[in-house]
Amino acid sequence: MDHLVFGEHDVPIIVPYLLLEDFAYDNEDFHAYPERCGWDFDVWLKHDAMRQGIDINAWLRDGPKKAEELPAFLQSWLFFGLLSACLKTSVDTNDFVRLDESSGSKVITTANLDSYLRRYQPQFVGCPTEEKSELLSEFLEIMNTAGKILGLVQLTIDWGDPPFVDALREVHFSCCLIARSLTPVVGVTLGGSVAHSNVGMGRMPLIVQRMQRDGWCPHTVARLTEGLYHDAQAYAYSLGTLRARQDHSKCKTSYCIANQAGEDFVPKHLEPDCDCEHVEAPIDAIVQTLQDGFVPVLSAEISEEDGSSPTFAVSRMDSNTPYIPISHVWADGLGNPKANAIPRCQLESLNAALREIEDKEGKHLPFWLDTLCIPVAKEHQALRDFSIQRMHDIYKDSYGVLVLDPDFAVMSPEAEFWETTNRLLMSGWITRLWTYQEGALPARLYLRVRGGVVEAEEVMDRFRLGRLHLTPVTHALSLSAVSGYANFMPRLPDFQDDKTDVPIQKIIFSLAGRITSRPGDESVCIATSLGLDPSAILACDDPADRMCELLKLLPFIPANVLFSTGRRLTMKGFRWAPETFLQPGGLIGKPVPARIQLNGESHERHLSYLHPDGKGLVTYLPGIRIQELDLSKARWDIAFPNGTSFRAGNYFNESSSTSVMKDIAILLPMPPNEARSKVGWTHQTGVLVGIYGKTRDPSASKLSFKMIRSGGVIGSVFVESQPSLGSLGGQDDEYHAKGEIMEPKWWLLDGV
């Protein structure tokens, strides 16, 4: 897949060409191609997505086709067929095949992909809008079919033991990249959004396998392969990471152990053989500044001629003093849990970067570094708490922030836009909980790179302002980079907007993918990121108590907080809430929409809030009401009066109940019959609720008898947004139930 390999970063993945010598795609109807070739994919298209992949041997047992033929067929259909059907052109197979000199075998090449994409766009200049709309609908149908099949191939590889798995990985990888390349070009040309297709995101087992083989951290692998578009995943792998040199044998998909700095951590020198002195901060002056109610900032004077120890000038952080905070991961070398000191070599490197920023901006810029400016001695706990309370302002009021990360240090100051953005997304810096506000709050973000400093926003502006000369492929890669950066580092909103919680939902979800070495830090960090006073949180020791205090501080509860998939709090009034926002029991991947569509009508989704008397969460949501449900079953088929049915399941297996419950509800971000038309909502996480009855509406006047429903959260469930196309298969873990769509209603929720 050589269309994504750029310059010096040459880590190609070779995909064999599996078809016969004289193969030529027939350029007929895309959806019927399997039938024309003697394949029956009806089982795939009707497959229950809650099952983990396709049993290929069972599927082919009574048919004429063999398992060893499947990878080649998928290559013909979802690579060459997809190109032909979407670009409305005959595809010359030879344009995408080359001879591999090392093996003497034919392999797939995408070097000519750009030329095909370039020829597509001019065809539709002046094309009537109605014709474009029809072509866009056809394109989306093709991509939805391709996405369904590719998604099931991925599930089959990840969760099963399919025959010829290596060939399936390679074919899946190449087809995913072709689909991703087509989506923005065809979609935009026909007047659609690049987000109109569900194809383009999700795990690519081949990339996962290669990253694991090369020593990447499981947490980084999971974060990139589940959060980036396919082309960005492949490009990130081609760039590589210095963190692959670390020992990640104890790391998990939810947590990186190697990137932690414990109580015994010792600051690192720039070079392994360096033994330069540790430079101590002027702690007395720093303590005095903090005791006076100010945050200290430092200016370092380093003499390179006489070798004398560096000296510091301490000043107060105020509106008249522009300054630069330093954002870093402690484990990269600058952390020190025992002393306010760092190695001289680190200080010299840091000072050089600061001088470059000063020269560029034309002003003196003192710095703030937590390792030096927050006293570590036990007797200064109150000053540490004060510093934490000021953390939001430290970054928000700064002139800009200087970010340090080993993966930035290997990057040239002249690196392309997509490399800079992808290295940001790959970095250890972006995975840390505390660094979110450090990157989202300041007006400027400086990255220390190889031999210099670059400003991230200036790099972004090259793309935003159209200053880059982009090919269709690099344009798609740039869009992927921008999307990934927006998801991982959304800008902090203002709580003054009390009409929507969507921006806050994005923030909470971005934080959910990050990690911290201290569970109790989560609530403190989120509060300071949002500009909330963390004093009440700091007064608690237990992480669960801290989470309750955080929820109390929020002016409203972001809707996606309810749709978490992990363990919930046990305190009365908070039994609906997650113990943690962080993965793996994190939140749904998209914000709950601000408006709810039902039967052609648009309903405002009112903001959720805590009951004023501490009785639980008051929320306004649609859902499904079910007469009776067996919670011991893994999957349910819920039939509605209009003859349609939707599949749901105890997918997260939270409930320990084995009894049949009557009159329960599944609350959802949006009604299932409406969600199926929304990109990215083919499956929803819902909340299973036992209906208790009704209670007084807390927002009503004292003399009002207005009532709302009350219920207890049982656990999280999984709901397909597409109507069921057939039987679940009669398995012992399946259950058939009757239900009805509920329009949006007010609910008071707590636990059972």
In whole angstroms, what is the distance from residue 67 CA to residue 70 CA?
A: 5
Same domain for 79 and 50: yes
Q: What is the pLDDT of residues 194-215, one digit of tens each?
A: 555 557 888 999 999 999 999 9
β-pairing, 445-449 with 452-455? antiparallel
Domain edge (last residue) among 200, 234, 254: 200
Distance (Å) of CA 696 to CA 217, 699, 701: 51, 9, 10
Domain of residue 26: give its range: 2-200
β-pairing, 311-316 with 106-108? unpaired
Check residue 349 and give its pLDDT: 94
Are the C-beta atoms of 370 and 415 separated by less than 8 Å? no
Check residue 40 and give its pLDDT: 93
User: Is 465 within the bounds of a domain?
Assistant: yes
Same domain for 552 and 474: no
Q: What is the pLDDT of residues 126-182, one digit of tens each?
A: 889 899 999 999 998 999 899 989 999 999 999 888 999 999 999 999 999 999 999
Residue 297 φ/ψ, nearest 5 degrees: -125, 155
Same domain for 484 and 510: no
The yes-or-no verdict on residue 101 having pLDDT over 60 is: yes
User: Using DSSP, how many helices (H) and how many strands (E) does the chain show?
Assistant: 26, 21
Same domain for 422 and 517: no
Q: Is 231 helix (H, G, I), strand (E, B) or coil?
A: helix
Same domain for 435 and 289: yes
Q: What is the pLDDT of residues 8-57, one digit of tens each?
A: 555 678 899 999 877 888 889 999 999 999 999 988 887 765 556 888 99
Number of domains in the chain: 3
Check residue 504 and give its pLDDT: 87
Q: What is the pLDDT of residues 654-705, one digit of tens each?
A: 444 557 888 999 999 988 777 665 655 567 889 999 999 999 888 887 767 7
The yes-or-no verdict on residue 122 having pLDDT over 70 is: yes
Check residue 226 and give its pLDDT: 86
User: Is 267 within the bounds of a domain?
Assistant: no
In whole angstroms, what is the distance from residue 261 CA to residue 495 CA?
A: 34
User: Is 68 within the bounds of a domain?
Assistant: yes
User: Is 243 within the bounds of a domain?
Assistant: no
Domain edge (last residue) among 461, 488, 515: 488
Same domain for 410 and 298: yes
> Containing H/E element for 301?
strand 296-301
Sheet with 445-449, strands from edge to edge, namely 311-316, 296-301, 367-368, 324-327, 401-403, 445-449, 452-455
β-pairing, 645-649 with 707-723? antiparallel
Peptide bond into 442 cis (omega under 30): no
Domain edge (last residue) among 432, 453, 488: 488
Top pLDDT among 564 and 576 is at: 576
In whole angstroms, what is the distance from residue 155 CA to residue 222 CA?
A: 15
Same domain for 622 and 655: yes
Same domain for 529 and 444: no
Same domain for 295 and 389: yes
Same domain for 709 and 607: yes
- Tokens describing residue 267: 């600051």
Please, what sign has the CA dihedral across residues 460, 463, 469, 471? Answer: positive
Most confident of 286-300, 490-504, 592-606, 686-700: 286-300
User: Is 251 within the bounds of a domain?
Assistant: no
Q: What is the pLDDT of residues 336-345, one digit of tens each?
A: 999 999 999 9
Same domain for 620 and 573: yes
Q: Is 391 helix (H, G, I), strand (E, B) or coil?
A: helix
Top pLDDT among 259 and 348 is at: 348
User: Is 232 within the bounds of a domain?
Assistant: no
Check residue 220 and give its pLDDT: 93
User: Is 231 within the bounds of a domain?
Assistant: no
Cα of first residue to Cα of last residue in the chain, in angstroms, is: 53
User: Is 259 within the bounds of a domain?
Assistant: no
* pTM check: above 0.85: yes
Least confident window among 188-202, 301-315, 431-445: 188-202
Least confident window among 7-16, 88-97, 403-412, 443-452: 7-16
Same domain for 527 and 551: yes
In whole angstroms, what is the distance from residue 664 CA to residue 708 CA?
A: 15
What is the overall mean pLDDT for the chain? 87
The yes-or-no verdict on residue 528 having pLDDT over 80 is: yes
Beta strands in 537-639 (DSSP E): 595-598, 601-604, 609-610, 617-630, 635-639
Check residue 371 and give its pLDDT: 96
Least confident window among 349-363, 441-455, 506-520: 506-520
**56 C-beta neighbours (distance < 10 Å), count:** 19
β-pairing, 660-667 with 617-630? antiparallel
Top pLDDT among 61 and 586 is at: 61
Residue 45 φ/ψ, nearest 5 degrees: -70, -25
Q: What is the pLDDT of residues 245-279, one digit of tens each?
A: 999 999 998 889 888 877 788 899 999 899 999 99
